[in-house]
Amino acid sequence: MQSGPREIVTPFRQIPLDVPEGMKANEFFNSSENLNDLVHNNGLLQNPEGLLLYRKALGHSNEFDASIIYNTSQSILDPLGRPVRRTQVPEPVKNVWNRMNQVILSYMLEQYPDPDETLVLAGEASLDATWPLTSPGVPSIRMLHNHFIVFNKAELRAAPIADASNPNLTDGGQHSLFQAYMRDVYQAFFDELDLQILRPCQSGSCRIALTGYPQGLPSWEVAGGVDSLKEVRFWKEYDTLLKGFIDFYRTFFGQVSTRNAPLPRDIYFPDLVENKLQFNNGLLKTAKMVRDRCIKDAKYANSIRWQPAFKQLIYRNDAGRLIVTISQNSIGNAITELLGVVVKRVPDAEAYGRAEPALIEKLLEARRRLVEADLGTGIATPHWGAA
C-alpha cells in the first residue's frame, strides 16, 4: 500500500451559534459567553482547578475525540493574557492535569490495544498571542487545551492520499527550517537535556508506515510504556523537552530578529544556550539567511511566528511503543497533521448521529475513571447526565 498522508472526512452536527453582530467568530470563541456554552452543551467533567473535559463537537475523529481545556475565561478576561502552554500553568493545576492525561491515555490504550487497528494520540499545541486575533488560522480558543484522539486505521487506509501542498502539511516552508539547516545543532542541543525515561528514537523507527509521518522531527520512546505515565519523572521530562524547545526557538528567532542578540531573558537552560547555540556558526548562518529574506520578502516575514509555536504529542507507533515528539516550526501544523492525518470536517447530522452513541459511551467511561480518581465531578448536559 502506498505510504503518504491521508485526508479523511469527519461528519459533524452543526452547532447553532449566534455570534454578536460586529464580532468575528474566532473573537467570540475566546469569550466567557462561548466557554459557558461549551460547558453546558458539551462539558463532561470539571474540577476546582479550572480544568474542563469536553466532547469535541467539531472533532477530528468520531471514534474517540475529547479535550481538556484550562478554562480561565472568567478569571482572566484578556484572551492574550491566558496560559497557553504547560510551562505557564501553576504547579497544583499541572499536577492534576498530568494525572488526567495519564488516566485518559491509559483508558484509550486499554480500549484500543492493537496498533494495527488504531492510531492513538494525545497532545497539546501552542496558542501563543503571536498573531492578531483576526488573522486567518489563529486558534479559536486561546486557552491551553489538549486533544485525545483515536483514528481507525482501516478508514485511514481507505482514505485518499492528501494533497502534498496542503498548507498544514507543508507548513509554509517553515516546518523544514530546523531540519534542513540546523539538524545537527538541534539534535545536539536536545542530547544535552537530562532525560532518563525518554530515549531518543532511531531514525525512522517512530514513523507511522501508513502515512510516513512524523517527518524530520526529533522523537523519543517512552521507556516502560504506559506504566511510565504514572511516574512524576515522566511528566517532568515531558516538560523538559518543551522547555528545551522554547529555549532553542527563542534563541534562534531572537537572532533572526536582531543580529548578535543577547541571551533571551528568562530562559530555562542559560549555560546550554550559551555553549551550544550562541556561538554556533550553523545556527547564526541560518538566522542570517532568514533575516535577509524577511527584509526583502514582506509576505514571508509576516508568516513567521516570532514567539515559540509548537505541537507536542504522545502517540503509539506501529510497534505499539509510546513515542513523544515535538514540532519545530514557526507556523504550526494542525495537531493530527503532525502524524500525516488531514481532517476534512463536513456537516452531516445523520452520519454523526450514527457514530454518536458509541463515541459518548466511551467518553462517559473515561469520565467515570476520572471521577473515581478524584479528578473532577461530572457535568450534566441535554445529552447526558452528571453521573
Report whether pLDDT(151) > 60: yes
13: its cell numbers: 452536527
Share of the chain above pLDDT 70, in %: 93
Name the domain count of the chain. 1
For residue 208, tell me if it sits in a domain. yes
pLDDT at 131: 57
Q: What is the pLDDT of residue 128?
A: 64
Q: What is residue 314's three-state secondary structure? A: strand
The pLDDT of residue 79 is above 60: yes
In a domain, residue 384? The reply is no
What is the per-residue pLDDT for 176?
66
Q: Where are the beta strands (DSSP E) in 71-203?
A: 118-125, 145-152, 198-200
* Residue of 200 and 77 predicted with greater confidence: 200
Give residue 139's pLDDT. Answer: 54
Q: What is the pLDDT of residue 148?
A: 98
Phi (first) and psi of residue 208, to 5 degrees: -80, 115
Distance CA 259, CA 238 (A): 32
Mean local confidence (pLDDT), 105-125? 96
CB atoms within 10 A of CB 215: 15
Tell whether 318 is covered by a domain: yes
pLDDT of residue 34: 78
Query: Looking at residue 204, what is its pLDDT?
Result: 76
**If you average pLDDT over every residue of the chain, what do you get?**
89
At residue 331, the pLDDT reads: 58
pTM for this prediction: 0.93
In whole angstroms, what is the distance from residue 217 CA to residue 15 CA?
Answer: 36
Among 47-56, 122-131, 224-233, 378-387, name the one with the lowest average pLDDT: 122-131
Confidence bin at 306 (pLDDT 50/70/90): confident
The predicted pLDDT at position 169 comes to 74
Q: Do the domain assignments include residue 1?
A: no
Q: Which residue has the higher pLDDT, 334 or 267?
A: 267
Residue 12 lies in a domain: yes
Beta strand pairing call for 341-347 and 6-12: parallel
- Residue 385 forms part of a structural domain: no
DSSP track, 43-94: EEEE-TTSEEEEE-TT-S-SSEEEEEEE--TTT---GGGS--SGGGS-HHHH
Q: Look at residue 295 in the predicted model and tell me its pLDDT.
A: 96
pLDDT of residue 293: 95
383 occurs within a structural domain: no
Let me know the angle formed at the C-alpha of 334 by 30 and 143, rounded to the nearest 5 degrees.
Answer: 25
DSSP 201: P
Q: Is residue 240 part of a domain?
A: yes
Domain span at 19: 6-378
